[in-house]
Structure 1
Amino acid sequence: MNRPARLVAAALTASAALLLTACGSGGGGDSTSDKIKGADQGASSSPSASASAASDVKRPEITLPKSFQMSFENWTNSDPKLQAIMDDGKERLLGTYSAIVKQDPQAESITFYNTASALSTGQAWVKGFTGKNLTLIGKGRAFDPQARISPDGSGTLFYCVDEGKGSTKDLKTGKVTNTPADDAYAFYQTKLSKSGDGVWKTTMVKSTRGDCK
């Protein structure tokens, strides 16, 4: 089943109806059916407040609380064009998590880095948490990013996410639900389009559970 970016499988049980309506293929005919090879390896990185420093456009400041943190491993590429795709893709993922923590599906971190189907499904996913008074705690890990630019000028970014140390917390009751071990990994396929001001905005997100180890 295709899913928008999502942390913690337990939230599916807590808000099944909303999350199911957030699912979508994100558009057919894309070349994201095969993994990209050849992305450079590098040092681990921490969430940043902005991406693609070469762009002069004002970007939203994205922060996460100490109660929920994301790490990004090997998130580097020697090609600056591919690095820009990876940077903006990273900020999109951080922005989605930030919107959940802030309980705001309309957060600028969502609307700035997403467009087309990625925007609508991303907002619906966030509402799947906020509508049930759920937030995120713990840790997430994004790794093995692979980026490329297609002949038509669009970008693709694939990566894996380990959500095994992440949990949901009910803001009203304080109840914490851990991520099931057999549903902790997800393989993400995203498509991006470069805007006139140089920002790589995500247009489609597709994920498959259990494809990364």
Structure 2
Amino acid sequence: MNRPARLVVAALTASTALLLTACGSGGGDDSSSDKIKGADADGKKASASAPASSPTAQDGAGRPKITLSKDFQANFQGWTNSDPKLQAILDDGREELRSKYAAIIESNPDSDAVAFYNSGTSLTSARQWIKSFTDTDDGLIGEVTVYNPQVHLNDTGSGVLFYCVDERKASTKNRRTGKVTTTPDKPESVLQYRERLDKTSQGVWKNVSLTTVAGGCR
């Protein structure tokens, strides 16, 4: 099979796809409390955008400061919530994704920031995903748009976060050859992320489970 753009890989079946951006455990929780009503429907992009760096980057929990290169942007739209508890989940969920992008750009699968925001099988899978880029000496360029976040607390107190990632303007660039591989301009390149996060004793919401759905935000 010819290798397509590094952000999206070929479908496993007619109804499901394995994406390189599926960098969590791949095992979602099917309990009803971990589902968000209407999450498979189209979501309108909110006008408000999150700042480039987290407002919680320097706090008592020791959250790392995450910086992306000037050649790659992750644009977060509508990542605000009037409930402070839900906003905390959004803030850490955003930084978790940014930490993985930064690790790819820095060619560092063992990034401390990735470990800070992931645990268990989610951390293992995140490192494997990052390593799939570093093994071939590929980095990220262009931009992704991350939008339509939907967040709630489930019956067990875990955070549930669904959001959309549009990768169609993102590409990989090989550090040795300079070859650029673009992401296909197809609906499957707009992904829905489905995360479960648990709060640590330091107050950090860590990603413990992630699945992605190709074209889930159409």
* TM > 0.5: yes
Q: Secondary structure at the match of 2:95?
A: helix
* Count of aligned residue pairs for this structure pair: 199
Q: Deviations over 1:70-90 (max 9, x none)?
A: 110000000000000000000
Whether 2:80 is the aligned partner of 1:76: answer yes
Identify the residue that residue 193 of structure 1 maps to in structure 2: 198
Provide closer, same or farther for how the CA distance between residues 116 and 30 of structure 1 changes in structure 2, counting only shifts above 3 A: farther
Aligned residue in 1 for 2:15 = none
Counterpart CA distance in 2 for 1:90 and 1:22 is 14
Calculate percent identity across the aligned residue pairs. 41
Match of 1:111 among 91, 112, 115: 115
- Code of the residue aligned with 2:119 in structure 1: it is T
Distance of aligned partners of 1:21 and 1:141 in 2 relative to their CA distance in 1, 3 Å threshold: closer
Tell me the SS of whatever aligns to 1:181. coil
Residue 149 in structure 1 maps to residue 153 in structure 2: yes
Residue equivalent to 1:61:
65
1:41-52 aligned at under 5 Å gives the runs 43-51=48-56
Q: Counterparts of 2:152 and 2:57 in 1: how far apart (Å)?
A: 16
Which residue identity is paired with 2:108? D
Instruction: Tell me if structure 1 keeps the 8 A contact 2:122–2:208.
Output: yes
Q: Distance in 1 between matches of 2:71 and 2:114?
A: 20
Match of 1:8 in 2: 7
Take 2:101 and 2:23, find their aligned partners in 1: how far apart are those partners?
16
Q: Is residue 208 from structure 1 mapped to residue 207 from structure 2 by the alignment?
A: no
Task: Kindly indicate whether the alpha-carbon contact (under 8 Å) linking 2:139 and 2:175 is maintained by their aligned counterparts in 1.
Answer: yes
Shift of 1:51: 3.2
Q: Identify which of 164, 169, 174 aligns with 2:173.
A: 169
**AA at the equivalent of 1:160:** C
Task: Give the secondary structure class of the aligned counterpart of 1:164.
Answer: coil
Change (3 A) 1:21 1:198: closer
User: Which runs of 4 or more aligned residues in structure 1 lie more than 2 Å from their structure 2 counterparts after TM superposition?
Assistant: 19-37, 49-53
Question: SS state of the match for residue 133, structure 2?
Answer: helix
Change (3 A) 1:87 1:24: closer
| Displacement of 1:58 | 1.0
**Which residue of structure 2 aligns with residue 135 of structure 1?**
139
Bigger proportion of residues as helix: 1
CA RMSD, Structure 1 to Structure 2 (Å): 2.7
Please report the TM-score for the alignment, with normalisation by the length of structure 2: 0.82
TM-score (norm 1): 0.84
Corresponding residue of 1:16: none
The letter of the residue matching 1:211 is G
Partner of 1:101: 105
Structure 1 alignment gaps of length 5 or more? 1-5, 14-18
